[in-house]
C-alpha cells in the first residue's frame, strides 16, 4: 500500500495541534513534514513504522520525524494523545547548538522505552500540559502553548539519548523525504498563489515535471488530484473569510481564488455540504 502525504489542518498560526484518538481510529500509511508525537494513555496502540509493526504500551511515547512513514492499526480499549507541529514554529536563528532541529530528530532515540525514567516523566508532564492548554480558552493561550513547545524542544536537546546505531537513513526513507520535498514545494506555491489562476502546466513547470508526470506523481503521493487539493485549500480560505468577515459572497469567491461565483457555489457545496451562506448562518446561530 502506498504511503500518502498527510496535510495537518492547523487551526491557528502556531502550526501546532493536539487531539485524542481512541483505539478504533485507524490511519493508513502516511507521512508528513511535521513532527508527530504519540502518547499512549490507555491500553496498547498498534503502530506500523516503515515496514515494521510495534505496540506502544500504556504510558509510552514515540516521536515520528519528518518524512517517516507510519500508520495506526485497530487497537481496542486504547486511547492516545496525538501532537503535531511544524519545525517552523521555532526560531532557529537563536539556536546555538551543533545540531539543527531536523538533525536532532534524526539522530536521537525517539521511543521512550529507551529514555531515563526522569525524562519520560518530564515529557509526559509537558505533553499533558500542552493538551490541556491547547484545549482551553484561556487568555494568552497561544503564548502558553508556544512556551511549552520550547520547553519540550529544550528537554529533547538536553536529555534525549543518541541512537545506539547511527546507520545511514534507509533508501526508502530517503525516497519519502525526496517525495515530501517535491510535494511541499507544491503546497508552498499554493499557499502563496491560491487566489490567482493556477494552471496544471504552470505548477508542473514550477516543480520541474511534465504535466503528465506531475499529475500521476501528485495523485499517487497524496491520494488526490491537484485540482481536488487546490479546491479544498481554496474552500478552507473561503470558510475562514465567511466566519470572520461580513462581505458579499462574490468577494469571498474572488479572494479565495474562484473567478466564477457559480463554480464557487458548486465546489463549496460539494466539499462542505451546504451553501456558503448556510455555512455562515450556522455559526451566526451558535454565537447568538
pLDDT of residue 7: 78
Residue 173 has pLDDT above 80, yes or no: no
pLDDT digits (tens, 9 = 90+) for 224-259: 899 998 998 899 889 889 988 889 999 999 999 998
Residue 283 has pLDDT above 80, yes or no: no
pLDDT of residue 181: 79
Percent of the chain exceeding pLDDT 70 equals 92
pLDDT at 68 over 90: no
Strands of the sheet with 44-49, listed across from one edge: 4-5, 27-31, 70-72, 44-49, 52-57
Per-residue pLDDT at 180: 77
* CATH superfamily, with its number, for domain 171-287: Homeodomain-like (1.10.10.60)
pTM for the full predicted model: 0.72
Per domain, the residue ranges of the chain are 4-159, 171-287
Nearest one of 178, 120, 175, 128 to 148, comparing CA atoms: 128
Mean pLDDT of the chain, nearest integer = 88
Instruction: With CA atoms as reference, report the closest residue to 85 among 106, 98, 66.
Output: 66
CATH superfamily of 4-159: Regulatory protein AraC (2.60.120.280)
Amino acid at each position: 500500500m502506498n504511503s500518502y502525504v498527510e496535510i495537518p489542518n492547523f487551526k491557528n498560526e502556531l502550526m501546532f495541534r493536539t487531539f485524542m484518538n481512541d483505539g478504533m481510529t485507524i490511519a493508513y500509511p502516511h507521512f508528513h513534514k511535521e513532527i508527530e508525537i504519540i502518547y499512549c494513555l490507555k491500553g496498547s496502540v498498534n503502530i506500523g513504522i516503515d515496514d515494521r509493526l510495534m505496540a506502544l504500551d500504556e504510558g509510552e511515547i514515540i516521536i515520528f520525524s519528518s518524512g517517516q512513514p507510519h500508520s495506526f492499526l485497530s487497537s481496542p480499549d486504547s486511547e492516545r494523545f496525538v501532537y503535531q507541529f511544524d519545525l517552523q514554529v521555532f526560531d532557529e536563528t537563536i539556536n546555538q547548538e551543533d545540531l539543527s532541529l531536523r538533525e536532532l530528530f534524526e539522530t536521537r532515540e525517539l521511543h521512550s522505552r529507551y529514555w531515563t525514567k526522569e525524562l519520560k516523566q518530564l515529557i509526559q508532564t509537558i505533553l499533558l500540559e500542552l493538551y490541556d492548554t491547547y484545549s482551553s480558552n484561556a487568555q494568552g493561550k497561544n503564548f502558553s502553548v508556544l512556551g511549552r513547545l520550547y520547553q519540550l524542544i529544550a528537554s529533547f536537546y538536553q536529555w534525549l539519548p543518541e541512537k545506539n546505531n547511527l546507520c545511514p537513513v534507509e533508501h526508502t526513507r530517503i525516497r519519502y523525504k525526496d517525495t515530501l520535498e517535491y510535494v511541499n514545494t507544491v503546497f508552498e506555491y499554493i499557499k502563496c498563489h491560491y487566489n490567482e489562476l493556477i494552471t496544471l502546466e504552470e505548477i508542473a513547470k514550477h516543480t520541474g515535471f511534465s504535466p503528465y508526470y506531475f499529475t500521476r506523481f501528485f495523485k499517487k503521493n497524496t491520494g488526490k488530484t491537484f485540482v481536488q487539493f487546490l479546491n479544498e485549500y481554496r474552500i478552507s480560505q473561503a470558510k475562514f473569510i465567511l466566519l470572520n468577515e461580513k462581505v458579499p459572497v462574490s468577494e469571498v469567491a474572488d479572494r479565495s481564488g474562484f473567478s466564477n461565483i457559480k463554480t464557487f457555489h458548486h465546489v463549496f457545496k460539494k466539499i462542505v455540504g451546504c451553501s456558503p451562506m448556510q455555512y455562515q448562518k450556522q455559526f451566526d446561530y451558535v454565537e447568538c
